[in-house]
Structure 1
C-alpha cells in the first residue's frame, strides 16, 4: 500500500462486498467474523457438533486474515485457538 496513510475506503470502497488480496477474494467482515467465532467457541463444549462447526469456520477464515496481513502484525493470543487454526 505504500508509505501514505491508508483509509478504510482506500482498501474497500463504499458499496464493495470484498476485495482481492494476494490473488484471492476476501469478503468484508472476515476479521469480525473470525473474532466472533473465537468468542463463540468459548461458549460451547469441545467436540460437540456446534464446536466443530465453529472450528471449521475459524479454519476457513484464517487464510483471509493471512492474506490481508492481520497475522503479520497481530497474533492469536489464545494458544488453543492458535493450535486449532494451524498457527505457530
Structure 2
C-alpha cells in the first residue's frame, strides 16, 4: 500500500477507528519523538514535544501505531505508557509478534 492509497493528495484527513485524523499525524509524532529523545534538545523543546505527543496519543492509538511499533527510548516509552494507562488505552510496549 502506498501513502496515496490511504489518503490521496486532495484529502487531508480521514476517519480511522472512529476518529477524524489529519494527514501527517505519524510524521509529526516521529519528529516530536526525535526532538524529545535528542540530548541536544532544551528542556523547553522536550516539554513541547512531550505535550504534542500526548495530544496525539488518541489518534496514534486509533491508527494502531503501538500495535506494530515499539518505543525504544525508555523515557519516551514511560511518558506514553503513563498517559495511555491513565486514559485506559494500553501501552507503547507492544511489538510485532
Report the TM range for the smaller structure's normalisation: 0.7 to 0.9
> If you compute each CA radius of gyration, which structure gives the higher value, 1 or 2?
1
Equivalent residue, structure 1, for 2:77: 82
Equivalent residue, structure 1, for 2:87: none
In the superposition, the TM-score normalised over structure 2's length comes to 0.71
Gaps of 5+ in 1: 1-5
Aligned length: 81
Query: In the TM superposition, what are the counterparts of 1:1-88 in structure 2 within 5 Å?
Result: 6-41=1-36, 42=38, 43-45=40-42, 48-86=43-81, 87-88=92-93
Gaps of 5+ in 2: 82-91
SS of the residue corresponding to residue 44 of structure 1 reads coil
Give 1:61 shift: 1.5
Q: Which has the higher helix share?
A: 2
Q: List structure 1 runs of 4+ shifted beyond 4 angstroms.
A: none
